[in-house]
Structure 1
Amino acid sequence: MAATNSVVSAIRVLEAVGERQPVGLSELARAVGLPKSTVQRTLLTLAEVGWCGADDASRWRLTYRAFAVGNQARDADELRVRALPVLHELQLATGETIHLAAPDGRELVLVERLDTAHSLRAFLPLGHRIPLNASATGQAYLAASTDAVVDAYLAGGPLPPRTSSTVTDPDALRSRLAEVRARGWSVNPEGLSEGIAAVGAAIIGADGRPVGALSVSGPTVRMTADVFDTHGRGAADAAHRISRELGAPV
């Protein structure tokens, strides 16, 4: 049991470093709720095996070993590899930033981003965790899920707000998901980031369940109601093509 607890602590510390880097010992200890002595021992062990390192100010960050392993996980189910050619076409057609996200617990994780040439653009770092209720990708993913999955998600606790426009009321989210199902793609103005709007569509796997979602995102000065339908249809078509590549019954 002690060994198991040590592994759990190491993973918690590793994730906290990734979320806050560069980060000091005291902040890390507060973030993971462990004694500073325990966190320090864990950091030294992670440094010994090459996963973490500290700078001259004793602030910790992940090494490229974490990036290398994470990059392998990113392609474990071939989602990114299958999706990339279609995502490139979608980026050229829309001229906006394209995001590809895959599920991890109650969130999605950004596994690919294709940037627009515009200097004013949407930006999320790879590996960023995206709340399902707050994002175009998340709402598209939930809309493609079964009622049981949606019920379990809503029963899991309060819906996290990211902006003043985030859907945080369960009934409002259910209504939003019904709209997504009827339309074929999600529309999320400023729900995830202020000044950014997005449309999204779910990607379906061979078993008929969603395995991820993609979005077209941009600043609200360009991503206006006038382009939601055009970009939404483009997103839905791209998601449909990728789903076929994955063997989905679509």
Structure 2
Amino acid sequence: MLITRLLTPLLAIGIRLSAPLSALAIAVYSSSGPNAASIQGSVDGFRNDLGANNGVGGSFTSGRREINWDGVPAGFSDPNNLPGNFFNSNSARGAVFETPGSAFRVSANSGSATPVRFGNINPSFPTSFSVFSSQKLFTAIDSNIVDVRFFVPGTNQPGAVRGFGSVFTDVDLAGPTTIEFFDFHNNSLGKQTVLNTPGVTSLSFLGVSLEQAIINRVRITAGNAALSALDGFDFVAMDDFIYGEPQAVPAPAAVLLLGSGLAVLVWARRKSLLPE
């Protein structure tokens, strides 16, 4: 049957199927370990799931976008703030950031006057944090929460994606670091926990793909506290963001039709995947 044909290739490349996010989840790519090699397989699997990298600008009907922070110029890197709309305005990739905190920050390159990997916030961070793609990391300031909203790249037209994933560094505790997914009516589609590896310089990856492009926003909770000079917290920074090509939000009539179709898909998945 259709569901079997869809899921068999996913199992063949080692993807963990999951219902914890919601019944709409097609695949969850989740891994953690001491170095980049530990998560490379799940990152590559997620990239292949979403399709070709569309780079910067334009609008496409399929594929993915990526943000690895390393091209952010010095003027928008630590100790300077990164504008929340940088990746929809300066570098049009259809992602806008929001936070309950005060700002966003991309870490400095080596050789600058500012310590790498947010060492100006806490001198232990350069030896606690690692990178997946050299050499910059990303964080909110005064909060451990980042909301990512999607738009048709370079426009103010709301968009939706069918998958989102992020690399994290130094996830020590099981539980606090999560990604929650929301549709274009701000309904939660579910929350998934990022895997942890105790010890410094670890890397984790979590990516979730759906059958349809219905994710309008994701909320990332990184660790259990905002980055600071204090001790005793699970401080977590972020590296690469990978997400599906943002699609224009359907008109209300189309949304109703899409909802009906997804209801049928959910019913079919439950009948085929869950025990009687």
Q: Same fold (TM over 0.5)?
A: no
TM-score normalised by structure 1 residue count = 0.28
- Tell me which structure has the larger Cα radius of gyration: 1
User: Counting helix residues as a fraction of each chain, which structure ranks higher?
Assistant: 1
The structure with the greater share of residues assigned to strand is 2
Pick 1 or 2: higher relative contact order, CA cutoff 8 A, min separation 6: 2
